[in-house]
Amino acid sequence: MDFLLDQKHEMARSLFREFAEKEVKPLAIDTDETETFPRETVNKMAKAGFLGIPVPKELGGQGCDPLTYVMCVEELAKCCGTTSVIVSAHTSLCIDPILTYGTQEQKEKYIPDLASGRKLGAFGLTEPGAGTDAQGVQTKAVLSEDGKYWTLNGSKCFITNGKEADVYIIIAYTDVVEDKKGRKQKKFTAFIVDKDTEGFTFGTKEHKMGIRGSATYELIFQDCKVPAENQLGARGKGFPIAMHTLDGGRIGIAAQALGLAEGALDRTIEYVKERKQFGRSIAMFQNTQFQLANLATEIDAAKLLVYRAAEAKRTQDRYSVEAAKAKLFAAETAMDVTTKCVQLLGGYGYIREYEVERMMRDAKITEIYEGTSEVQRMVISGDLLK
Distances (CA, A) of 39 to 21, 215, 374: 17, 11, 33
| 49 in Cβ contact with 112 (< 8 Å) | no
Can you say whether residue 278 is alpha, beta or left, with left for phi > 0 and alpha for psi between -120 and 50 degrees? Answer: left
Task: Point out which span in 55-63, 123-131, 187-195, 256-264 binds another protein (CB under 8 A).
Answer: 123-131
- Closest CB to another protein among 126 and 366? 126
**Helices 356-366 + 81-88 axis angle, to 10:** 30
Using CB under 8 A as the binding rule, whether residue 159 contacts another protein is answered as: no
Decide: is 199 part of the binding site for another protein (CB under 8 A): no
- Decide if residue 220 touches another protein (CB under 8 A): yes
User: Nearer Cβ to another protein, position 13 or 205?
Assistant: 205
How far from chain centre, in Å, is Cα 193? 20
Q: How many CB atoms lie within 10 A of CB 9?
A: 16
CB–CB of 74/258 below 8 Å? yes
Q: Does residue 153 interact with another protein by CB under 8 A?
A: yes
Active site residue 370: yes
Contact between 141 and another protein per CB under 8 A: no
Is 152 a binding residue for another protein by CB under 8 A? The answer is: no
User: How far apart are the C-alpha atoms of 90 and 46, rounded to whole Å?
Assistant: 12
CB 56 within 8 A of CB 98: no
Nearest distance in Å: CB 133, another protein: 11
User: What x-and-dash track marks residues 289-328 binding another protein by CB under 8 A?
Assistant: ----------------------------------------
Binding-site residue total for another protein (CB under 8 A)? Answer: 11
User: Is residue 174 part of the contact set for another protein (CB under 8 A)?
Assistant: no
Contacting residue, 63, 199, 203, 346, with another protein by CB under 8 A: 203
Q: What are phi and psi of 196, to 5 degrees?
A: -90, 15
Q: Which of 138, 151, 197, 281 binds another protein (CB under 8 A)?
A: 138
Distance of alpha carbon 65 from alpha carbon 362, whole angstroms: 27
| Cα end-to-end span (Å), the chain | 28
Site for another protein in 336-365 (CB under 8 A): none
Binds another protein (CB under 8 A): choice among 128, 228, 280, 318:
128
Binding site for another protein (CB under 8 A): 127-129, 138, 140, 153, 155, 203-204, 218, 220
Return the active site residues: 370
